[in-house]
Amino acid sequence: MEESAATQARVECVESRVVLEARQVSKCYELDEIEVHALREVDLEVCEGQMLAVMGPSGSGKSTLMHMIGLLDRPTTGNVVVEGVDVSRMSPNELAAVRNKRIGFVFQSFNLLPRTSAQANVELPLIYAGVSLLKRASMARASLERVGLGDRLGHYSSQLSGGQQQRVAIARALVTAPSIVLADEPTGNLDSRSGIEVMSILQDLNRQGITIVIVTHDDGVARHAERVVHMLDGRIVHDELVENRTLAEDRMRELDAEEEAAQ
């Protein structure tokens, strides 16, 4: 363990600037006087336009790291820097504004508002961004069309499949045109076809210049990224560039062929 931490390779941003940075970030939970170190002095730089996967076994601190760099939670020690600005001293309301403008989230458990239409869910970040009513509606529609749900605007979450709900969540993450999208196990609750569709959308977004961080414990999913960071026990133990990156479109074509053959 000592050794792997010491020999950890670090991928540096060569051609582009750093959009997200964790500096010596630790997170410590105290449960019944027992300290749980979810993160131990993690350093991470995410480059602009990069698609990064965070891998690791259950309990290794992946989600915790995502919450820190997504400004959903505060580190016990260490700093988080977003586009060159240290957010440690920001008030909760200032953090909310940064999340609203810069960061989109996709959660493993969707986190859509219940009994609320897909369109209203997608409009939510725009309301808090102060976008006018009419503009909001057309932006939400465009965003839902982008994830292939143009015909499901009025459906409630309960009337959508898991894959469709996750795509609504992606549309919500996209609608404010953030520079960063953070996705925690975005395919975790989905069958393989829906999973591939979601990955295809994320790769597509990345191609358009959005920085993407995916948290996953699935190597197959991680291989869709350009770079993979491996975590173990609250530390980053390995950091590598992906060779022969998987393209979701190719896998979709393979899947179509398989299903045709089966019939």
Partner 1 sequence: MKFFESFRIALRALNANKVRSALTMLGVIIGVSAVILLVAIGTGVQHEVTGSIEGLGSNLIFAFPGNVEEGGGGSFSVTRQFSLDDAALLERRLGSKDLVVPIIQSPATLKVGNRELRTTIAAANENGDEVFTADYLGGRGYRRSDVSASARVVVLGSTVRDDLFPYVDPVGKSIDINGQQFTVIGHLAAQGGSLTGDQDNQVYMPVTTAQRLLGTRDIGAIVVKADDPADVNLLQRRIKQILRPKFGNEFSVFTQEETLGILTQLLGTLTVMLAGIAGISLLVGGIGIMNIMLVSVSERTREIGIRKAVGAKTYDIMSQFVIEAVVLSVLGGGVGIGLGWSGAAALTRWVPTEVTWWAVALAFFFSAAVGIFFGVYPAYRASRLDPIEALRYE
Ligand X SMILES: Nc1ncnc2c1ncn2[C@@H]1O[C@H](COP(=O)(O)OP(=O)(O)OP(=O)(O)O)[C@@H](O)[C@H]1O
Residues forming contacts to ligand X in the complex (CB under 6 A) are 29, 31, 36, 38, 56, 58-64, 217
Contacts of 188 (CB under 8 A, 6+ apart): 108, 216
Q: Residue 38 or residue 160: which is nearer to ligand X going by CB?
A: 38
241 binds partner 1 (CB under 8 A): no
115 binds partner 1 (CB under 8 A): yes
Distances (CA, A) of 252 to 64, 122, 164: 31, 26, 17
Q: Residue 80 or residue 140: which is nearer to ligand X going by CB?
A: 80
Residue 194 DSSP label: H
Q: Cβ 68 to ligand X, closest distance in Å?
A: 10
Rounded CA-CA distance 159/181 in Å is 26
Name the one residue in this structure whose structure tokens are 């190719």. Answer: 250
Q: Cβ 255 to partner 1, closest distance in Å?
A: 32
Rounded CA-CA distance 47/206 in Å is 12
- Going by C-alpha positions, the residue among 236, 151, 211, 221 that lies closest to residue 190 is 221
Q: Residue 60 or residue 176: which is nearer to ligand X going by CB?
A: 60
Residue 66 DSSP label: H
Stretch that binds partner 1, among 79-87, 88-96, 199-207, 212-220 (CB under 8 A): 88-96
Q: Residue 63 or residue 203: which is nearer to partner 1 going by CB?
A: 63
> Using CB under 5 A as the criterion, which residues of the chain lie in contact with Mg ion when the complex forms?
63
